[in-house]
Amino acid sequence: MLTSNPASPQTAKDPLKSRGFFITLEGIDGTGKSTQFRRLVRHLRKRGYAVRATREPGGTAVGEKVRAILMSEKEELTALAELALFYAARAQHVETVIRPALESGELVVSDRFNDCSFVYQGHARGLGRRTVKLLDRAICGPTQPDLTLVLDLDPRLALERALGRDARSGTSRFEAAGLEFQRRARAGYLALARREPRRVRVIEAGRPPREVEADIADVVDEVLRESRKPKARMDRSGAKST
Ligand code: TYD
């Protein structure tokens, strides 16, 4: 996971070195997530980690094409077709980018990943957790985030931000889904954090960006420090395993 940076906080005996570490950033639209993502990546690189920064939907050439379909307002996709497309892009992403990077010991940071499907398609669009889980088992399997940061913000404020930002480029079909949809998505993320409190950390995003950035850096630094202790590895259920 490390470059040869002498200021690196980890040593050659680091137990994580052979299996990497996977961090994801999540949140409803308009929480400032993409800005915080860039800042987190910069922070981790300064600390000496070899960071693979990626995003969903996207992350591969095929994934970016799928993203274009998903983001197009004109497409009339059913909820299941949408879910299947997200997972088609994710299959490519996991197999060709995320898994190899983790296997070579890198620190993978993704702007959105599978929790987004559980929350948006499973919860907010009503497909249900079991349907998403079926695809997730087959496609992500054991490649699951070690740490997930959920940027949390009142959906009214978040939607105003998102619509303001998109006024130039045209509103995406997701943001056009409206306040009620964003409310359901927020509730989905908060429920996820209650279910898996060790892995999923909620960051209050209604504060000045610098404060949010500092909070994120503190949480990530602490979790990475903990994860170097052999017994501190977390699985999706929030239970510890080695
Ligand atoms: P994007 O422009 O990346 O939004 P943001 O910058 O706010 O992350 O658009 C991603 C949209 O796709 C966002 O509204 C969430 C949605 N999405 C899903 O509905 N399911 C998924 O599995 C993923 C990865 C994204």
The reported pLDDT for the residue numbered 177 is: 78
Cα(56) to centroid of ligand 1, in Å? 7
Cα(74) to centroid of ligand 1, in Å? 16
Atom of ligand 1 nearest to the CA of 28: 7
Decide: helix, strand or coil at residue 2.
strand
Atom of ligand 1 nearest to the CA of 87: 22
- Which residue CA neighbors atom 11 of ligand 1 most closely? 174
pTM: 0.86
Q: Is the dihedral of CA 187, 191, 193, 199 positive or negative?
A: negative
Q: How many Cα atoms sit within 13 Å of 165 on the Cβ side?
A: 16
Residue extents of the structural domains in the chain: 21-229
CATH H-level, domain 21-229: superfamily: P-loop containing nucleotide triphosphate hydrolases (3.40.50.300)
Q: Helix and strand tally (H, E) in the chain?
A: 9, 5
Question: In sequence order, what are the beta bridge partners of 200?
Answer: 148
Q: How far apart are CA 14 and CA 21, in angstroms?
A: 12
User: DSSP labels for 167-231?
Assistant: TTT---TTGGG-HHHHHHHHHHHHHHHHH-TTTEEEEE-SS-HHHHHHHHHHHHHHHHHHHTSGG
Q: How far apart are CA 146 and CA 159, in angstroms?
A: 29
Residue type, 135: L
Residue of 83, 174, 189 with the most ligand 1 atoms within 8 Å of its CB, for mutation: 174
- Which residue CA neighbors atom 19 of ligand 1 most closely? 120
Q: Distance between terminal CA atoms of the chain? A: 18
Cα(232) to centroid of ligand 1, in Å? 30
Decide: helix, strand or coil at residue 32.
coil
**What is the token pair recorded at 242?**
């080695």
- Provide Rg for the chain, Cα atoms: 17
Cα(181) to centroid of ligand 1, in Å? 13
Chain mean position to CA 168:
26
- CA nearest 24: which of 182, 192, 173, 154? 192
Question: What's the chain's length in residues?
Answer: 242
Cα(23) to centroid of ligand 1, in Å? 16
* Lining residues, ligand 1, CB within 6 Å: 29, 33-34, 56-57, 86, 112, 116-117, 120-121, 172, 174
Chain mean position to CA 85:
17
The reported pLDDT for the residue numbered 169 is: 56
Q: What is the pLDDT along the chain (242 residues), one digit of tens a residue?
A: 444 343 344 433 444 445 799 999 999 999 999 999 999 999 999 999 999 999 999 889 999 999 999 988 666 889 999 999 999 999 999 999 999 999 999 999 999 999 999 999 999 999 999 999 999 999 999 999 999 999 999 999 988 887 777 665 556 666 677 889 999 999 999 999 999 999 999 999 999 999 999 999 999 999 999 988 654 344 444 444 43
The reported pLDDT for the residue numbered 79 is: 94
Cα(44) to centroid of ligand 1, in Å? 23
Cβ atoms of 214 and 221 closer than 8 Å: no
